[in-house]
Structure 1
Amino acid sequence: MGCCASKSRDLEPRYKGHRSGGGVGGGVHYQKAHEPVVQQHKVQVHQAHQLPEKRPAAAHPEPHPGPKPFVPARSPKHVLRSDTILGKPFEDVKQFYSIGKELGRGQFGVTYLCTENSTGRQYACKSISKRKLVSKNDKDDIRREIQIMQHLSGQPNIVEFKGVYEDKQSVHLVMELCAGGELFDRIIAKGHYSERAAASICRAIVKVVHICHFMGVMHRDLKPENFLLSSKNENALLKATDFGLSVFIEDGKVYRDIVGSAYYVAPEVLKRRYGKEIDVWSAGVILYILLSGVPPFWAETEKGIFDSILQGEIDFHSQPWPSISSSAKDLVRKMLTQDPKKRITSAEVLEHPWIREGGEASDKPIDSAVLSRMKQFRAMNKLKKLALKADVDGNGTIDYIEFITATMHRHRLEREEHLYKAFQFFDKDNSGFITRDELESAMKDYGMGDEDTIREIISEVDTDNDGRINYSEFCTMMRSGTQPGKLF
């Protein structure tokens, strides 16, 4: 998307939160894995644009007790409108920022490039339409997301939160601009890859998990798409974005709502009884993909993916695993332990000999097939994301779900008319095929791809190799998980 703002969906029909929406290496310096250096400086935000300040994190790694109930900050000079969400008078974001080109869009809003009028610095502005925040839960969710972003802001591997504004139509979140793009795109563009590179990436991701848990936050939706690079520089930082499903950890509470993205969801989430250990599981899934190019649990249907997760059988026999070090496989096993009580913690991950800086991870190149599989996996997800931007319900929503792999709205995709409407979103001339030109046009409209990505998508989905995507191929792609036959 080009900014530290992304979007994803939960696994239940009832929305658990809207989305705001990664370079490798870099991150928080640790004296000990269990004693993270937490940056406590305050974010410089105009006070009128900030939610109530959170109290500083404790000096020891105990869970943050969570925020106090959101109390609107009433100004003696203003009478609050009944339709306010943030509990403060309306203000025009354009008084402080010049709004530029669109960077991306999702379920609840559009992200723009913006420039601060007083400094000329560039940021990302996510404008969320208030008419789409229809329920009390929707409004509570956006308040909580803003509070969590404000609470975590200042950490090197977490997107910096600048401020929030509200007017009659929208809530505007201003945050750090991440111009380096998505994690997988950077890996693929470099064209060479090693266990040491994978260890560096995973280390940065687990540092984010560790900081979140130290500061009393459970992320609940870790996946590669939620990590962007701060810039195009070689040493750019990996930044965690999208805290729309994150919650403040409450002592003793057992969480039961099903959230996350299908490939990355922990088994205890599917069993509706979980805690912060789910973030380590998700990071373990990402590590498996970094080393092999495919997720550890896949199937031709979403239900099959969930069944595979619950069975917990991890494939270490197919290529490239025989050539991957035993130390790397040991860490993957420990992160993907079924029993959350026996699963390795984020602090223990950072102490593992394979992932430590200067540790056992080899600089020997990994099989080039891994990058090819990663490209296919990325391309499929991008096409699904784009296809689901079709307004199949006719309600004005840009996309009724963002990723088929991130939702439990299976009943919608099982309805033929919804799939056909999504297909027609691409097939502008009603020829019965999605051509390269039609795909390119749609992707450019949403700023979602380049020539290589379009070529990858056509190659992956076009099973009869006629250079076009027919309706049958489209349905197979939309209803499936990762196709193992094509990846191995």
Structure 2
Amino acid sequence: MPMIPQVHRQPCDSRGCSTSAPRCQGQHSPFLHGQRLKLHRRKAQPFHHSKCHRVLAATSQKTDFHQTKLQQDYAATASDAHVLQRPIKEQLQAHEVKNVFGFPRDLRDRYSIGHVLGAGSFGVVREVTRRANKRKYACKTIPKIPRRGTGTPRYLLKLQTEVDAMQQLGSSLDAAHLRDCFEDDESIHLVMELCEGGALLDRIKQGAPTERYIASIIRSVLRFIAQCHGKGIIYRDVKPDNFLFLTKEPDSPIRATDFGLSIRHWPDAGKLKSRSGTPVYMAPEVIMQEYGQEADEWSVGVLMYQLLTGSLPFWDSVQKLTLQQVWQAILVKRVDLDSPTVQNMMSEGARDLLKGLLRRNPRHRMTASAALEHPWIKSEGAAPDTPLSGSVIQRLQRHATYGALKQLVLQIIADDVIDVEHGSMHMVETLRDLFQQLDTDGSGGICLPELMDGLKRLGYVVTAEEVEKLMRRLDVNDSGTVEFEEFCAGMIDWKTLQEDHLWTRWVDLAFGKLDSNNDGYIDLDELIARLPSLTGVDNPESERMLAARRMLREADTNGDGIVSREEFETLLEANTVPDSLDAYDPRWLPEGSVPA
């Protein structure tokens, strides 16, 4: 019989709380002390349920639930490195992967390497210190040929997708920031924000968290998932191990980490078939190998149930269960949210939200965006007195999580919008007033200290490191200051502009500036040639090649290595999945507080 894969840290049985009254948002939530468990390695008993028997019976004959015959989920484009374009399952030798991604190779010149923070099957994480400013980061080292199994183009494309997703979503205040990427002959090295506050479960089990506190945790998780889906990314690995506290402070925010199973996939692209994730958090449709982004919301529901009750929805213990039995429960066992026991553990509002997230039919399941509007989740606090819908911080995050190509195109369009006198001038003047409030020395550019001080004056709660990572994505020309045109690109209400009668003209002008040979397509060479003038920095050709390839992957939906006019317009269109400002942390100062 096959060996059943290990389930990561999970609770094994419930632990009560001294409070016996029904749960409310101010009362304690019971939680148990977690411990590392393994699914029991024994012969699975047959399960004869008519709808799911075929799927469950088949699992007992597979050696690895990740290695079933699946639809291709990672694909190279014509602009990718040659080794990535080879047959997806072809075995690669060590000498063939020495320089795959084009990342810089000077990790040790820029960082001093410290002690090991953690290790696993993926590789190892070390603490590193940036030599330029002595700031500490975490460095995740991943071998280009896995320690277990063989190196293939599919595995390398998976690594590339992980980096792309983290570079994009890591600019949100709900995700760990990816500071730098490096490569050597054997591995890639991802230098990211150091989360020193510990793992989610470790902190929760040490105290007696209130339901209100757990709601704040789930709010951050839902924001992150909504951000992923708004950018065409399915996370596929929601579980407590992947959410870390940034600091040891009691009010520390959490950060989503580990994008290793993330995949780019829009709802209109059909269903995914590859089973990915940690078994006990998998949605029913993932087990059935026909799923979309709704699978993430199910996993959030499982996590929420676990934080509120101290156990998983279907089991008091998973210690002696086979993988087949775990999947059987997920597929057919009822989640009882109305029993007296559960009612004593959580409020009616929490149970109502769980009923929306744990619906087996994904078409009827609550989306992350909808869940953020649920009364149990809805953020509290007064909005700052700024003349914009949504907070400045929310707008900066949404812009920061756009891909690099979309950011550059929006910058080109913003320049044209500013130069034209028409109905959008009121919007531009509103932004100019806000810009001048932040540009305290009147230099025409907002430096990091000015942005930090200005946001605090406006009533926002952000750290210097958080402002810095937002500013890095806003400062397109890498000048060290944010100019008015860059500020507008990040703050303009693009949805309103898309309804303007001049929108098509602005898109034409932007496409024309990138399509230098007027052949109707944007290719790699055109992007490489334009990068210095667009960014203001004449980077080495290898860095421009890396940036240009990343931009093409963002828009080249058919993988032919060029961006057509249709793909260009799709890049700028309103998403099929909402990318609402509500999906981003507003960071408003709590009502009644005084800015520091």
Alignment match, 2:427: none
* Aligned equivalents of 1:120, 1:146: Cα separation in 2: 24
Moved over 4 A (4+): 66-70
User: Which one-letter code corresponds to 2:112 in the other structure?
Assistant: S
Aligned residue for 2:80?
Answer: 71
Matched, 1:117 2:131: yes
Deviations 1:239-277 (A, max 9, x none): 001111110113332101111111110000111111000
Superposition deviation, residue 85 in structure 1: 4.6
Aligned to 2:172: 155
Residue 67 of structure 2 is matched in structure 1 by: 14
Aligned-pair CA distance for 1:90 = 6.3
Rounded to whole Å, the distance in 2 between the matches of 1:349 and 1:297 is 22
Pick the aligned partner of 1:236 from 252, 274, 281.
252
Q: Could you tell me which residue of structure 2 aligns to residue 477 of structure 1?
A: none
Q: 1:286 aligns with which of 303, 308, 314?
A: 303
Q: Deviations over 1:373-418 (max 9, x none)?
A: xxxxxxxxxxxxxxxxxxxxxxxxxxxxxxxxxxxxxxxxxxxxxx
> In terms of mean alpha carbon deviation, does 229-238 or 330-339 score higher?
229-238
Of the three residues 324, 333, 350, the one matched with 1:328 is 350
The residue aligned with 1:204 is 220
Q: Which among 300, 307, 325 is matched to residue 304 of structure 1?
A: 325
Distance 2:68 2:219 in 1: 31
Shift of 1:131: 3.8
CA contact (8 A) 2:97 2:186 kept: no
Q: Secondary structure at the match of 2:313?
A: coil
- Structure 2 unaligned residues grouped into runs of 5+: 1-62, 70-74, 83-94, 382-596
1:301-380 matches, cutoff 5 A:
301=321, 302-316=323-337, 317=339, 319-358=341-380
Q: CA shift at 1:304, angstroms?
A: 1.5
Question: Relative to 1, partners in 2 of residues 1:93 and 1:266: Cα closer, same or farther, differing over 3 Å?
Answer: same
Quote the residue 1:440 is aligned against: none
* In 1: Cα distance, 2:365 partner to 2:219 partner: 17
- CA offset at residue 181 of structure 1? 0.5
Q: 1:106 aligns with which of 120, 124, 137?
A: 120
In the alignment, the residues of structure 1 paired with residue 253 and residue 269 of structure 2 have an alpha-carbon distance, to the nearest angstrom, of: 34
| Paired position in structure 2 for 1:429 | none
Residue 260 (1) aligns with residue 260 (2): no
Check 1:248–1:337 CA distance in 2 against 1; reply closer, same or farther (3 A cut).
same
1:187 is matched with: 204
**1:23-102 matches, cutoff 5 A:** 71-72=80-81, 82-88=96-102, 91-102=105-116
For residues 258 and 68 of structure 1, the distance between their equivalents in structure 2, rounded to whole angstroms, comes to 23
Question: Shift in Å at residue 170 of structure 1?
Answer: 1.9
C-alpha distance in structure 2 between counterparts of 1:178 and 1:69, whole Å: 37
**Residue 318 (structure 1) shift:** 6.1
Local SS of the residue matching 2:362: coil
Aligned to 2:497: none
Rounded Cα–Cα distance in structure 2 between residues aligned with 1:224 and 1:103 = 18
From 261, 270, 273, the equivalent of 1:245 is 261
Go from structure 1 to structure 2 and tell me whether the alpha carbon gap of 1:198 and 1:108 turns closer, same or farther (over 3 Å shift).
closer
Find the residue that maps to 2:198 and give its secondary structure.
coil
Amino acid at match of 1:14: Q
CA shift digits 1:311-337 (9 cap, x unpaired): 140133263533522221111111000
Query: How high is the TM-score relative to the length of structure 2?
Result: 0.47
- Name the one with the larger helix percent: 2
Letter in structure 2 aligned against 1:229: F
Identity %: 36
Paired with 1:89 and 1:252, the residues of 2 have a C-alpha distance of 30
How far apart, in 2, do the equivalents of 1:196 and 1:108 lie?
Answer: 35
Give the counterpart letter for 1:325 in structure 2.
S
TM-score (norm 1): 0.57
1:214/1:167 CA distance change after superposition, 3 Å: same
What corresponds to 1:424 in structure 2? none
Distance in 2, matches of 1:358 and 1:147, equals 33
Partners of 1:86 and 1:143 within 8 A in 2: no
Who wins on radius of gyration, i.e. which is larger?
2
Question: Cα offset for 1:13?
Answer: 4.1
Task: Specify whether residues 70 and 207 from structure 1 end up closer, same or farther in structure 2 by C-alpha distance, changes over 3 A only.
Answer: farther
Provide structure 1 residue ranges, at least 5 long, that are not aligned to the other structure.
Answer: 1-9, 17-65, 74-80, 360-488
Aligned alpha-carbon RMSD (Å) = 2.6
- Residues 129 and 15 (structure 1), Cα distance of their counterparts in 2 relative to 1, 3 Å cut: farther
